[in-house]
Homo-oligomer: A and B are copies of this chain.
Amino acid sequence: MTLGDPLPTTFLPRHVPPGRRTAVLLLTCPDTRGIVAAVAEFLARHGANIVEVDQHTDHHDGVFFQRVEFELAGFDLAPERVLEEFREVSERFSMECELRLPEQVARIGVLASRQPHCLLDLLARWRTGELHADIAFVASNHTDHAEACAFFGVPFHHLPNDLGKDVQEERLHALVDETGVELLVLARYMQVLSADFVARYPHGIINIHHSLLPAFVGAKPYHQAYERGVKVIGATAHYATEELDQGPIIAQDVARVTHRDSVEDLVARGRDLEALVLARAVRLHLAAKVLVYGGRTVVFG
């Protein structure tokens, strides 16, 4: 089965989200008077119906963040001309800004190793229509998930470790380019990507780490957690950056544990956390609700 084949009926989404097409304007600038009015006035003048506005001011650093989602119906500018026309505003306030079209289904690529839980969770959410994205490919350094990918109807690529990291990463770059994916999701991918690889996709790679960062960076965090005797474990989804486990945190969640939980129990409890936290982070990213600033994120919930 490949993309385009009829889906197993299990996965026919029964709740069709409203056809409303929207655009999202994301902007960051030094905080000053008049920003909100200028942005709102620009959008009103062009007939935009604003669906949702979120904003945040970091009073400590004097930085303003805004996310404005508006309907494209009735808006008198073509998406590709928005930022150009908006320049009158964005230059006045020294804004960095970006236009995203979240209802345009994004394409994502998933990297996995042998553990299936995060991958299966993403595949199921995709197929039940919950993900608002297309999974364009799955790549793995093992072959275990080839059949599952076939069942779910997504192309699977085997990139064995024998290839060496350089070739593996070359092939990944090629896959990204061919498929036009905007986001790579590391679904418990146990290979460390090179700094060069990561640098090519700033805020374009989401990783799930199986601890509540910054606790227990690196290998075997559940073993570390067991040894330290913690009463709470967690999982962290973050953008991958060149420094391992140091990227901006998008989402975290926790579970209580006790002395009764062996390392294996922590691993099992953690699986559910990892799948949930990763899915939450991917959804937030796809909805253009995450802004990165100074190594931290602004997440408009």
Name A's B-contacting residues (CB within 8 A): 8-12, 14-15, 17, 33-34, 36-41, 43-44, 47-53, 55-60, 74, 114-117, 119-120, 124, 128, 130, 143-148, 151, 212-216, 227-232, 234, 248-254, 258-260, 262-264, 267-268, 271-272, 276, 295-299, 301
Contacts and interface: CB of A to CB of B under 8 A. Distances in A.
Q: Is the interface of A mostly helix, strand, loop or mixed?
A: mixed
As for how many copies of this chain the complex holds, the number is: 4
Contact of A147 (B8, B214, B296): B8
24 contacts: A9-B145, A9-B146, A10-B120, A10-B144, A10-B145, A10-B147, A11-B148, A14-B114, A17-B264, A37-B37, A37-B43, A40-B41, A41-B41, A116-B124, A120-B124, A124-B124, A212-B230, A227-B296, A230-B249, A231-B249, A232-B252, A232-B254, A259-B297, A259-B298
Contacts of A231: 249-252, 299
A114 B214 CA distance: 29
Given A9-B146, A37-B40, A120-B10, A299 B248 contact: no
A295 B275 CA distance: 31
B296 A11 contact: no
Contact of A215 (B14, B215, B298): B215
A37 B41 contact: yes
Contacts of A36: 36, 40, 43-44, 50, 53
